Each structure stands twice: as C-alpha cells, then as structure tokens.
Structure 1
Amino acid sequence: MSKHENNNPGHIDAEAPDRQAILDCLEREGRPLKRGDIVHALGVESADSREILRRRLKAMVRDGQLIKNRRGAYGVAAKMDLVSGRVTAHPDGYGFLVPEDGGEDLYLSSRQMRSVLHGDRVLASVIGVDHRGRREGKVKEVLERANQTVVGRFVEESGVALVVPDETRISQDVLIPLKDTGGAKPGQIVVAAIINQPTEKQPPVGKIVQVLGEMGAPGMATDIAIHNFGIPYQWPDGVEAEAKAFGDVVPEAMKEGRKDLRDLPLVTIDGADARDFDDAVYAQRQRKGWRLVVTIADVASYVKPGGLLDVEAVNRGTSVYFPNRVVPMLPEALSNGLCSLKPREDRLCLACDMTVDERGQVTRSRFVAAVMHSHARLTYGQVWRYLDEGDIKLDRDADAIRANLDDLHALYKVLKKARRQRGAIDFESQEVKFAFDENGEVADLLPTTRNDAHKLIEECMIMANVEAARFLQQTGLPAPYRVHAPPPMLKLESLTQFLQAQGLKPTWRDQPEPRDFDRIAQQAKGRPDEKLIMAVLLRSQSLAVYLPENNGHFGLALDAYSHFTSPIRRYPDLLAHRAIHHAIARQAKAEFPYGKNDMQKLCEGCSHRERRAEEAERDVDDRLKCAYMEQHIGMEFNGIVSGVTSFGLFVELDHGNVNGLVHVTNLPNDYYHFDPVSHSLTGERRGRVFQLADPVRVSVEGVNVEERKIDFELAES
C-alpha cells in the first residue's frame, strides 16, 4: 500500500481490495470501469473501504498502473498500449522515453517535449516510426515531475525576465514574473522554484527563491551541482538535535555486554584531510597465517529504523564528496564525532575477526559487537613512508603499532598474490586533486597515485566485505549485496574492436572472465596509451548496483560481496550492519524490520542516489577543470587522442586528465574523411592520419565553463 492511500495506518479494513484485486477485476471485465462499477464488482460495502479504494485508485493512476480516461473510467495502462518511463532530454530539444520495463526507447519530438522536462516520469503512446526507424511516442500524461526547482542564469531585458537553466538537458527557459525576481541581477546564478510546469502551449513559469551569486565565484560550481542534481544539503528540523542528543562520549551502559577490544593496537589509516574514520585495522602474524581484525564504526547503535536520522539518511543515501566541500549522510555530531573512530577515545564498533592462511584465504571469521580504542590516527603518507623507509613518528604504543603495520604489510603481499590468482581486475587509474589558492580559485591540478598503504587498506576492506556477504547469506535476512555483472555484449563488441586497433588481442570468445580483462590491463602497463586503454576498459564494465540477492562481483572476481565497511557515509552498509546485529543477537527473523520488498526498494534507492552523487561530483570536477584551463588560454600542453569523430578529435591532456575538442577546422587545412572502424581521420590532399591514442600537442583556444567545453587547437605544424 502506498503511504498516500490511507491516512490512518493503524486502521486496516479487510474489505478494502488491494491493487492486485483491482487489476484482476479490470482484467475480468475486459474494459475500463468507473469507480462505482469497481465498487459493485468487488462488493465493497463500508464507507471506510470505499474511501480506501478511492485513494488506491488515485495512487495507481499516479504510479502509472491505471489510466483515468475522459469518461472517468479506469483502465489498465498496459492494455491501452501505453508505456511508462522517464524522459531523457537532449540539449537540441528532442528527447527519449526510457521505458520502466526495459523495452526499446521511444523518440519524443521537440513538440512532444514542450510539456515535459528532463527526468519527468510520463505515460506515452506509440504513434508510429520516424524517418530513422525509431519508435515515436506521444506524451499522454505526466505521472511525476522531476524538477521542482531549476538553477540557472538570470536574464532580464525588454521587460521580460527568465532563467536560462544551467542543466543543458532542460532546453526550456523558465519565465519569471517581474514581481517574483527576488532582487536578482542580470547574469547572476539563481534558483527558481517552478510554479507552473510546462504545457504544450506555455513554457514553465517560476519565481526566484535564492540568489547564489556570480558565475565563477569560489564554491559556485559546488552550489550549482547541489541544486542541479537535487542533493539534499539542509538538515530537516530535529535531525541535528537527534544526533547531538547522544552526547560526545559513549556512555558506560552502551559498552556493557560487548567484546572489549580496547587493548588491541587498532589504528585508522586514511587520507590527510579525512575527518570521518569508519574503519580501523589490526593484524598479527600467527604460526600458519594471520589474525586480521577489521573494526567498523557502529552507526546502527545510534541510527535506528524510522527515526529522523534514519529517514534523512535514506533520503541522502550517501555522503557526497566535492573538492572543497562534503555533504554528509549523517550530521557532524555523529559523522565526525561520536561514530568516528578517533584516536584514544572509546568507540562502539562492529568487528570482523578473521583467521587468514598462508594463501590469503579466510579459514574462519566471526562478527562481534565490540568497544574499541584507536591507538593512532595514521595517514596513507605516514604509513607509506614507514613501509618504504622504516620511519614513523608515534607519540605512544610505538612498538605495538609498528608490529601491527609490519604484519599488515606482510599480509597484504599475500592478499595481493591471491587477488592476481583469482583474476580480479587491477584497474589502476590516476585521480586528480584540486589545489586552491587563498581566493578559493583552482591553482593547480595535482596527480594522485595509490601506494601500498592505500592498497593494504583496500584489501582488508574487501576481505571484511566478503565475510559480511557470506554471513548475511547464512542468516537468510533481507540485506543489500554489492553486485557487479559481467560486461554487456554490446560493449564487448566495441571494446574488442578498440583493443585490436591498439594491437592488443582479447583472449575471450563468448563471455569473458575477470582475468581476461586483467591480462589486458597488465599488457597496457608502461605503454604511452596506458591511461586511454584503462579508461576504455573501465567504460566497458557494467555498473555495480545494490540488490537484495547476492549475484557476485565480476570485477573483483568474487562470488559474494557486500558493502559493510563505511556505514558513516553509505546507507547500504548501515543496512548490512542492522542485519548482522540482528543475527548475532539471535533475534527472531520475524522481528527484523525489513521484508524482501522493503529491501528491494531500498536497494533501488541506494543505487539511484549513488549515481546521483557520482554525477554531481563529476560535474563539479569538469567545471573546475574548465575554470583552471580558462586561466591558460593560449598555452600549449601534451596530450593523447582519446576519441575520433567526423567533426574532430577529442584530446585528453597529460596534465590533470583534462578533456577537450580539436574541431576538424583546427586541424591542418585539408578535407578529412572519418573511418569509424579504424577510429581515424585522414586528410584527402596530404594524407595526414589522426587516430585513437596518437600523442599530440595542443594549445587552449577557448573555454566555456557553463557548458563544460574546452576547445583546443593543434599546436604542431
């Protein structure tokens, strides 16, 4: 039942038909029925039941299951040849409806797009096939509006005010009545609330609710992304108070009955600027292997299902990490305070205690609710210097911590070997860190590389995640698993063509194994086009998602995987913790607060919010790179051809992983012919060939920060 169908959840009327009964009734009748006819056909008698039926019919129309026609009769949408799905708009004005059932997309002409915006959920009918052979649709009804606000540039001229959306896929400007401009000045970036959604005859109408400031101001890129992608960034009433009510220290009563790990020299190892410490680790060499203890912040003991903190954590799904700002999943009182595994402070944790043999295989593991006391807050840089040079400065417990790091590193070497043997894909990618000056502007793009300290922690977390997945399977409780499917066939075909063009021979025939990709990754190491090959390999992979069924993780070559190690910043990890707590406390399965359908919906929501966060983070990165390159117009850089089209070359610079376009008109003067098979452009007169992975030198010709576009010019003769 939808939460909108009954305002009295404590009252259950057995006579009120559920959705399936309504659908079955309409199926039997074979025609649309008015509400009175449905009442009669299902024998609904009481006033309460009739009211519930009325709300349920309304909810089924809203969800796209039913259609209410002009006669006021309800019909099954699927029977009326209507397709429900989300609108994906193109900057040029047309769009597509992506069906919810996974069928073929419907093309929506620019005329059909007048009444909808990017992301809207609609019902459409198939009206034919366009000149390119695509199924063409007509929007019949808007089920859900995706955009309640729009962020963009304010324009006022000739007595007309409007907002030009920053999101290029929203091609309609928002009209602003002059009385609703909110004091905005032309050129400023504003947030407009949409008062009237677009119709076929009228564009959207809105009012200015917030003036963000001038384009290019420090932090503006992040502000725009937060509003464009709908990232929740303000705490609803009561949420922060609920977090602060737990205080600053763990009360003794909460420590009772827990395993005491405070004497174990556990340490956290994170980035230098990290403030929320999810995990701590400890390893000890034993006669036939190692003991490895991974302790994770016990968020579940504070954030309970249904509370204000939990509702908002579901809404956010994940913390969002921008270069100059973090939008956390939980308030700071918990994320950086009581849940964070700070050094020399007692903290509640959920511990995975493992025994690992000489081959890197876990022979025994158990989960315990514990209390711990981090003995040091270490950074990746500190640990790497110690592993490389043997030097680390510690205030206390120096001998125990050094022994822990030595044993962790020895264990890592074994785990690394085991990873290679099972064929996990070793994707080495170079991240970029933004350096800001005192004015908050981008001063430089700095490459960051992962060392053994990063990889050591990664392997420990993977092991804990695997054991959590296996334990969750044994419990039989509904829980989220991290699932990574093999690459889809369509992507494999284009990947094979690309690899062959680079002189690399794929080893698979039909369905590849992870080790096939790892072989390619190893062959690429040290090549001039290594970054390009790794990027293409990554793009060929399926997206990892959260599912209530364990279907394994292709990239890691694992048959069971979950997310368990970051409950401060990821909601699926918190769900996994709740299931583990429930099982180790030996509570009845019937008392677990989630059913399979609940978990299915939560997994879908978590996957969606993860994608939203990734897109927002990528958007800010692209804007900041454009802002940086805007300072370097006319300067020359080395790069590599990362894409070839009929209209030019896409080039990725060696500096900062910056991408831009060399338009065909900026190539040496000639007529160029595009070959999609060899990914090349060939000059007709001079015979000059440009193809994928060619090293080039370019100069920065122009930058459009708003559109996130950089134009290069070939600098060589």
Structure 2
Amino acid sequence: MDRTILEVKKQLVLSMMEDKKYKPLRFKEIIAVMQVPKAEKQDLKEVLDSLIHDGKIMIDSKTRYKLANANLKVGTFSGTQRGYGFVVIEGEKEDIFIPENATKGAMNKDVVQVMIREEQTGKRREGEIVSIVERGNTEIVGTFQKSKNFGFVVPDNLKLGRDIFIPKEHTKGAVTGHKVVVKIVDFGGKDKNPEGRITEIIGHINDPGVDIMSIIKSNNLPMEFPDPVMKSLDTIPDEVDGADMAGRMDIRDLQMVTIDGEDAKDLDDAITISKNGDKYTLGVHIADVTNYVKEGSALDVEALKRGTSVYLVDRVIPMLPHKLSNGICSLNAGVDRLALSCFMDIDQKGNVVGHKIAETLVRVDRRMSYTSVKKILEDHDEAEIEEYKELVPMFEMMQELALILREKRHKRGSIDFDFPESKIILNEKGKPIDIKAYERNTATKIIEDFMLIANETIAEDYFWQELPFVYRTHENPDSEKIEKLGIFINNFGYSIKIGQDDIHPKELQKLLGKIEGTPEEALISRLTLRSMKQAKYTVTNDGHFGLSTKYYCHFTSPIRRYPDLQIHRIIKENLRGKMSEKRITHYDRILSDVARQSSETERRADEAEREVEKLKKVEYMKQFIGEQFEGVISGITTWGMYVELPNTVEGMIRVTAMKDDYYYYDEEHYMMIGEHTKKMYKLGQKVTIEVVDCDRELRTIDFELAESEEETTIEDQDNEKTASLQQTENYGKHTAKGATMNPDVDEQAIMKIVKDTYSGK
C-alpha cells in the first residue's frame, strides 16, 4: 500500500476508535462496521498492524482492538538464555526489564507491545509483554538432537532461550550433531516450546566451514545472487566504452594512486594532489558505480537488500557481484575507469576554501598498499623509495596535508579513541594460526583523513542546496551517562564541563588527551566509549558528535555501502540538471526507507563479523588451555569479569570460579569485591590469568585467576584513586572488535562512531 494512502487510512481507523461511542471490536467486527470490501481486508489488516506498531492501538486478551493507554509502548524484545529479557524502545534512554513470567512467549528480536508497570520494585523500569506485533525470527539456525520419535534444535543464538521441537516427519533425515536451518511453524507460548520443520542441513558440526556458514545463515546474509541479477551482468562491459566517456572531465593525465590493504580487490577510491603556493588541491575520486547499477534494476534491488558488503575472516560477502566490485567498478591501475570526483582547495589551516564535484574519466598510475606507503613515509626504506621514486613527492605532500586536516579536526573536538582491531591469520584449511592487534599507520591515517574531508564537503554542499539526501549522523550522548562519567572521573582528579543539556565533544577529547600515558587510561577510555551512542543513516542532517562536525555523509565507498551508492545517484542527477520537483518528491518518498534499511543491514553485518571473530578466537585459544597470560580487566558484570589479552582475545573469569570468597559487583565503581576478604578487582586492572576452557558452540573462553596473582584489598589503598590503580599500568589502547564486555553495551558497534571513516577493507 502506498505510504500516503496508508497514513490516510490509519487516521480514519484511529478517529473511529477515538470516538467515545467506540467499543473494542474484533477484526471481523471492524470489517462489518466499516463496510470494508472483501478485496480490501488485507489492506485493513496492514493499517491495524501499523497502528499497533506505532503504539497507537492494542489487542486485548479477547483479540479486540482498542486504543493503547499511556503505559503501553512498542519496542524490540532482547531475550536472554536465562528466560528474562528487555524491551528496547527507540528514543528512550532506558530499556524495560521483562521478568521470565511476563514474556508471553516473545523471542529475541520480536517487535512487541509492552505494558510498563506503574509500581516499580527495582532501579530499572519493569513491564510485561501484552502482544507480539511482528516476529523477528521465522527461521533459525541451530544444532539438531535426535530422539526416538522426534527431534529438537538447540538455537545457536542463546538469546532465543528455548529449543525448537521438530516432529519426526519434518527432520529431513538430520542426525544428532547436524547444523540445520529451521522454519518455525508454531511459535508456542508461555508453557509450550516453538515447533518447526527443517528446511536445510548445513552440515555436521565438525565439518570444515560449517561453523562460519551457520553464522552466515543465522544472520540471514544472502550468499548467492539471484538469477535476474546474474543475467543482468551480461549487458555490462568488461572495459569502459566510448559512449560512457562522453561529457566527462578527462583527468587521466593527473598522477593518481589507490592506497589499500594488500588483499583488497574492490578499489573504490583514488587520490590526486597538487599544491599552488600555500593552497593544496586534493582530488578524491570514487568509482562511479551508479553508471552500471541503475535505479530499480535487479542489481539495485539486490544491493539495497544487502545494504553492505560483509567482511568475515575467511571471505567477503559482497554487496555487488564480482564483475562489478572487482572489475569494471574497481579503480584498477592502468585502465580507464569512470568516477565521481570531489576536488577540494584547502588552505594551510585545513579549511576547504573551494570545491568542485564532477563526473570524471580516470586512470590510476599505481596500486599502492598501506605497507608500501608506510615504508616510504615512516620507515624511510631505501628499496621502497627507489621502487616508487616518481611517487614519493606525492606521498610526502599527502602526509603534509593529512597532518593539517587532522590538526583542524582535533582543534574542533573530533574524538579519536584509536582502538586497534583484531587481525586473525588463517591457514589454508581455515584454522586460525595467529591473532594480533591490527594497528593504524601513517598510510591508513592519510586515507582516513582524505575520505573524511570528502564526506564532510559533500554533505555540507547538499545540505545547503536543500536537496533530499542521506546523511551519516551521530547523536549526542545521553546526559545521564555523561553525568555518571563526570562523577566517576572526579575520583581520579579529572573533570569535564557539561552544558545545560549537552556536552561538547571537545570535552571528551581533552579528557582522553589528559589520561594518555597514565595508568587509568584503559579504564577511563573504555567508560568514555560506553557513554556514546551508535551512528546511523538519516534523511535529516543532525550532525556527527564523534567527529564534531555539523555535516557528514558516506560518499566514498559505493562498491560496498548502499548509502554511498544512493547519494551518488542524487549527485549525478543534480549535476546533470535533472533534479526536478518530481524527482525531489520521489527521493523524499524513498530515502527514509533507504536510511532505515542501510542502518539495519549495517548492524546485521557487524553482528556476523563479530560472531565469526569470536568463533575463531575460541578456536585459536583452545591450544593454550592450561597456559598463563597477562591481561587487563575489560568488563565487569554481576556474574564475572572479562579479561582482554594483548592479542585482543577476551575471556571471562566467572564469579563461581573465584573460590576464595563470595564476590559481588559494585556497579558504581566498576569493581568486583570479595565480601569477606575485601579483595578488589577493577575495570582496567592488570591481572594474570590461566586459560581453563574454550567452548566453540557457545563461543566462550573461560579464564581463572592464576594462583600467583597478587590481589589488592580495599584496606591496602590510601584513597579511591590508588584503589583504582594499584595494579594498573599503562596497558595501551584496547580493541573494540569482538568486545562485548558488558551485557548492556555493544562496544564494537559503538566503535562505528569513532572509527566512522574509510576502513581500508
């Protein structure tokens, strides 16, 4: 149904229910009262479902529709393996706690209506689920267990909480230990497990590759491209043809390079740079993917469905087929390619004093790697300098400009946590043989700086043109979280200035600068990170807190991100003078859905990447059971402490494994305290651990404190600051990849806000 028609019909139904004479009616009764034709029954159902989703109406226990009361909210249920859960409501600071006896059979990711209880027993708001608006899981992936006359599937996602009953006739020949895909046919209820039928057997749990394929399936990541998409590739040339070159700015004579990781195949950005007096001219040239992916085509529909490329440790699931991503759309050296270019004139203070956006014809001179450019600029490697001697002046100029741009961002308050990511090395059989922290270097920072300034320039241009657009936005942190952070850091002698409503990002940047190189750096950096929100795509320009900029978008990676592809289409249409009122109306109508879908698929990709990474880390650490390592406490919960090792691997020391005392979690001070011994463990503290167990199924690593570990007691401390830091040295920066230390916070996802740049993948 058209969105405008839907809104009109919603208002009609709502007006009827708001009438004082209205009595709650069932669906069939509403059809009769409103005299809805048989052909429009489904439309009425869509209207009612939409009103429930908006939280305007509800269904009571007798399946009658009525107006919702003020305590009824709509949100997404987040389950736990313990049976209870939380409802996350968009726009509200605090989740609603749902006790186990009040879930009404809701499963993880279900959209639900929750009634908030007026009388609260604890700190967190509580509620009970009234109805399930929309199921979040129709298919699940799990491990099959066979019984004599039936079977059941244990979901891989522990948040789903309950096993799925499988009648014998729907087991599809699966045997115990098979990883399977199950279609749920009956969601069960409070006292009845869901029932399903097996639709696919992925393979046995011990077969190579089944583990990662299970994660791909459970996150509903599309692998194969549909036939219409593959057939459409027949019309796409292998090389740029003459007709496509017509009317473009020919810049093939400019010295141009790409700089990427050694294993990158989808090269979607290239750089040119020159200097005239005190002014730099930086050219950021992005592959013109929209020349081949037309709006509404099979390629376009599939790209929007995927939303983003997904980078797993052993494979890439691309947004576009390889013929495009690695072929005609990849800015490979020595061949003609189509691009959308942003030329920026930048002064010595980093200000963009002029810019031009143009459709261009490019030819890259050399395909450079981050490693090679680092060797030239950081290591001054003579062999590397000789190999690329004609390009060395270009790289030196890039470094000059990047430092200027970085300094300007720093002055305005842009936050950079600089957390390294995990780099997992696999052998030819897919087994992890090494894990280390992947550090940024001079070359990666240069590209980040250039992509950032291009994204900002494009966003500001189109904001002032007042045209429909997709922005990358990052909201200010919740004032409550910032207030808690301010109180906590006072214990260490630090402070942050908080305005009437908001904090300026420069305050957090200054805080991170003050703690750099101090023992408390790890602790405060992590707590500052946790105060942040996630970035998302929006049609309104709400600014980007983490980057401290009013204007930001994603323009630089259309091969692997749909929002970039979408705004390329808008930019080109505008450059060609075709942005008519009709087209503006068209974009106003579709862009909200594009932004929402792009944000959702980004979250889905992050989840899959994180799960695969956790799996490979567990697999890697299994060989070290019984060995000891030094790590840092990276998270504390009521059931234990997470410890992170220098190679970014994280494991848990469970409270039940701390046998010398009963330990409780002091949430206010991020501390685990022994009730009798008064031994104390705090976030950021360095400890020695022993690896005791690795569970591939649960993707968990268990640590225990090494017997030689010297604990600190509260009585040992002279003051709160010493108590926090007695055993803590400067541990350096810690990873965010795979770092799900706290059940309330997903740090890897939040890191998107502080590393919201070109990733180099």
Query: Is this a same-fold pair by TM over 0.5?
Result: yes
Work out whether 1:621 is the aligned partner of 2:610: no
Alignment match, 1:171: 161
Work out whether 1:702 is the aligned partner of 2:689: no
The Cα shift of 1:685 comes to 6.0
In structure 2, relative to structure 1, the CA distance for the partners of 1:444 and 1:465 (3 Å cut) is: same
Match for 1:713: what amino acid? E
SS in 2 for 1:411: helix
In structure 2, relative to structure 1, the CA distance for the partners of 1:590 and 1:146 (3 Å cut) is: same
Q: Deviations over 1:121-151 (max 9, x none)?
A: 2334557656547665554443322112111
Q: Distance in 2 between matches of 1:481 and 1:621?
A: 29
Q: 1:669 aligns with which of 660, 665, 683?
A: 660
Q: Deviations over 1:484-530 (max 9, x none)?
A: 122212321333344345x3513323433222222222233334554
Match for 1:54: what amino acid? K
Between stretches 212-221 and 147-156, larger displacement belongs to 212-221
Alignment match, 2:733: none
Q: 2:141 aligns with which of 139, 151, 171?
A: 151
The Cα shift of 1:332 comes to 1.2
Give the conservation status (yes or no) of the 8 Å contact 1:626–1:704: yes
SS in 1 for 2:146: strand
Percent identity between the two aligned chains: 34
- Structure 2 unaligned regions, length at least 5: 709-761
The Cα shift of 1:441 comes to 0.9
In structure 2, relative to structure 1, the CA distance for the partners of 1:261 and 1:38 (3 Å cut) is: same
The Cα shift of 1:179 comes to 2.2
Work out whether 1:57 is the aligned partner of 2:44: yes
Alignment match, 1:264: 254
Q: 1:448 aligns with which of 424, 435, 438?
A: 438
The Cα shift of 1:620 comes to 1.4
Work out whether 1:508 is the aligned partner of 2:497: yes
SS in 2 for 1:631: helix
Q: Deviations over 1:356-385 (max 9, x none)?
A: 111111100010011111111110001111
SS in 1 for 2:45: helix
Alignment match, 1:570: 561
Match for 1:95: what amino acid? G
The Cα shift of 1:586 comes to 1.3
SS in 2 for 1:592: helix
Alignment match, 2:429: 439
Match for 1:225: what amino acid? I
Between stretches 22-31 and 693-702, larger displacement belongs to 22-31
Alignment match, 2:758: none
Between stretches 140-149 and 643-652, larger displacement belongs to 643-652
RMSD: 3.1
Q: Distance in 1 between matches of 2:246 and 2:316?
A: 34
Between stretches 261-270 and 180-189, larger displacement belongs to 180-189
Report how many aligned residue pairs link the two structures. 699
Match for 1:402: what amino acid? V
Work out whether 1:199 is the aligned partner of 2:189: yes
Alignment match, 1:12: none
Mapping of 1:516-531 within 5 angstroms?
516-527=507-518, 530-531=521-522
Q: 1:329 aligns with which of 319, 330, 334?
A: 319
Between stretches 22-31 and 636-645, larger displacement belongs to 22-31
Q: Distance in 2 between matches of 1:391 and 1:320?
A: 37
Alignment match, 1:559: 550
Give the conservation status (yes or no) of the 8 Å contact 1:429–1:531: no
Mapping of 1:309-388 within 5 angstroms?
309-388=299-378
In structure 2, relative to structure 1, the CA distance for the partners of 1:649 and 1:67 (3 Å cut) is: closer
Give the conservation status (yes or no) of the 8 Å contact 1:244–1:333: no
Q: Deviations over 1:255-287 (max 9, x none)?
A: 101111111121110011111011000111211
Alignment match, 2:75: 85
The Cα shift of 1:595 comes to 3.7
Q: Distance in 1 between matches of 2:140 and 2:390?
A: 55
Match for 2:47: what amino acid? M
Give the conservation status (yes or no) of the 8 Å contact 1:218–1:441: no
- Structure 1 unaligned regions, length at least 5: 7-15
Give the conservation status (yes or no) of the 8 Å contact 2:16–2:22: no
Alignment match, 2:483: 493
Between stretches 160-169 and 398-407, larger displacement belongs to 398-407
In structure 2, relative to structure 1, the CA distance for the partners of 1:674 and 1:590 (3 Å cut) is: closer
In structure 2, relative to structure 1, the CA distance for the partners of 1:82 and 1:647 (3 Å cut) is: closer
Give the conservation status (yes or no) of the 8 Å contact 1:87–1:119: yes
SS in 2 for 1:384: helix
Give the conservation status (yes or no) of the 8 Å contact 1:85–1:123: yes
Give the conservation status (yes or no) of the 8 Å contact 1:477–1:589: no
Mapping of 1:385-404 within 5 angstroms?
385-388=375-378, 389=380, 391=382, 400-404=390-394
Q: Distance in 1 between matches of 2:511 and 2:27?
A: 62
Give the conservation status (yes or no) of the 8 Å contact 1:429–1:534: no
Q: Distance in 2 between matches of 1:80 and 1:701?
A: 50
SS in 2 for 1:193: strand
SS in 1 for 2:238: coil
Match for 2:156: what amino acid? D
Work out whether 1:639 is the aligned partner of 2:626: no
- TM-score, with normalisation over the residues of structure 2? 0.85
In structure 2, relative to structure 1, the CA distance for the partners of 1:340 and 1:83 (3 Å cut) is: same
The Cα shift of 1:582 comes to 1.7
Match for 1:329: what amino acid? M
The Cα shift of 1:612 comes to 1.6
Q: Distance in 2 between matches of 1:351 and 1:497?
A: 47
Q: Distance in 1 between matches of 2:315 and 2:308?
A: 14
SS in 1 for 2:160: coil
- TM-score, with normalisation over the residues of structure 1? 0.90
Alignment match, 1:10: none
Q: 1:305 aligns with which of 276, 280, 295?
A: 295
In structure 2, relative to structure 1, the CA distance for the partners of 1:429 and 1:101 (3 Å cut) is: closer
